[in-house]
Chain A
Amino acid sequence: MTAWSGTFSPTLERLVGESEGESEGESQGPDAALVRRILAGDAQAFATLVARFGGTVFSVGVRMLGNRAEAEDLSQDVFLKVHQKLRSFDVRLPLAPWIRRIASNETLNRLRGRRADRPRLAPEDVEAPDPGPAADAALEAKRRADRVACALATLPENQRLVVTLKYVESLTAEEIGAALGVPRNTVKTWLFRAKESLRRALADDV
């Protein structure tokens, strides 16, 4: 993805001053208006941004860190960083890859900070998807989610992160590569290995 190429970026510091009253030009990305409102101090606009990406960041946090409380802390840190760095955001680009990258870096930093520990994934930390009408199906879904979560916790960090990004956000290898700053083929290799391990773990449990 070219989103992270080191080209000259029209940051908001310039654009806020220059484009007052100017129509949405073709150089403006899809999220430029939202970003501008946040920088102007609009709390509601910030709430919109958090509503769009908060669930994803939380989900990645739970799967990577292994517990919900820490995922909530992580979400706070990620969005605080987003708020603080928003001024340097290149408004020609969409927000999602940029926020994904911040979230990935924050997650990996946290994991590095507690390198000695293994991820602590308590069964109660795993929440099954909406159970639907059938209780048996819900129970089975919950059990399966627990199994997946436990298998996920045994993966190396890089594999766990790519597989989480893939299934939480349905991202392609290209997009995951952009978020992590690694080539697409590396992502594909990590994904392949991660899925092999998960399949094996699921097959062993059945």
Chain B
Amino acid sequence: MTCDDAFPLLLERVDGEPPDRDRARLDEHLRVCEVCRARLAALREDERVLADAIPVSPPRGFERSLAATVWERAQGIERQRGLDRRLWTLVAAASCMAVAVALALGFEPALDAWKPVARALDALPAPAELVESLLRGLESLPVIPESVPMGRVSTAWLAAGAAAACAQLLLARRLLTRRGAR
């Protein structure tokens, strides 16, 4: 083994890198080569200097105050997230309820709550005519009913659908909140 061959092995030995390849050959070389022995000693000394000099001691009580500060910040973030979740749940629930009420009132024939809207739309001829001409153009379509029987859509069904959506949303939010708190 030459000194050039030995050098990378010396580095590995100093680094304590397993496996120490060619251990026997390196030991044999070191036994006869003073230059490599001196090199190994110098490398070990450098290693010791770096190992002493590079680590930095934190200030006294650093870890304790760090843990307290980070824990406080983390709890604050968690609280804020909880509030956000609750707020969004409320907004979503309120929106679902509003839609459900509007649909229920609008499709209830007795109340005719959407009549003014329908009348206003009727007063605008252009879109209605456009739709009519488009529909007439589709010859493949079967007979188009004169009026869509929206009144038959049960108010109860609509309200139930909206309420189910609402409940689903609330349940999902509650599950998320529980998992977040765990």
Contacts and interface: CB of A to CB of B under 8 A. Distances in A.
Contact of B58 (A54, A164, A192): A54
Interface residues of A, number: 51
A202 B49 contact: yes
Given A43-B71, A83-B74, A167-B51, A62 B56 contact: yes
Interface in A13-66: 13, 16, 39-40, 43, 46-47, 49-51, 54-55, 58-59, 62-63
B157 interface: no
Interface in A60-92: 62-63, 68, 71-72, 75-76, 79-80, 83-84
Interface string B52-71: 11111111001110111111
B119 interface: no
A178 interface: no
Given A47-B64, A54-B67, A76 B73 contact: yes
The secondary-structure label for the interface of chain A is helix
A199 interface: yes
B182 A63 contact: no
22 contacts: A13-B179, A43-B67, A51-B63, A55-B57, A62-B56, A63-B54, A68-B59, A76-B66, A76-B73, A79-B67, A80-B74, A83-B70, A83-B71, A129-B52, A141-B52, A148-B49, A148-B53, A168-B54, A173-B15, A195-B46, A195-B50, A199-B46
Interface of A: 13, 16, 39-40, 43, 46-47, 49-51, 54-55, 58-59, 62-63, 68, 71-72, 75-76, 79-80, 83-84, 126-130, 141, 144-145, 147-149, 152, 163-164, 167-168, 170, 172-173, 188, 191-192, 195, 198-199, 202
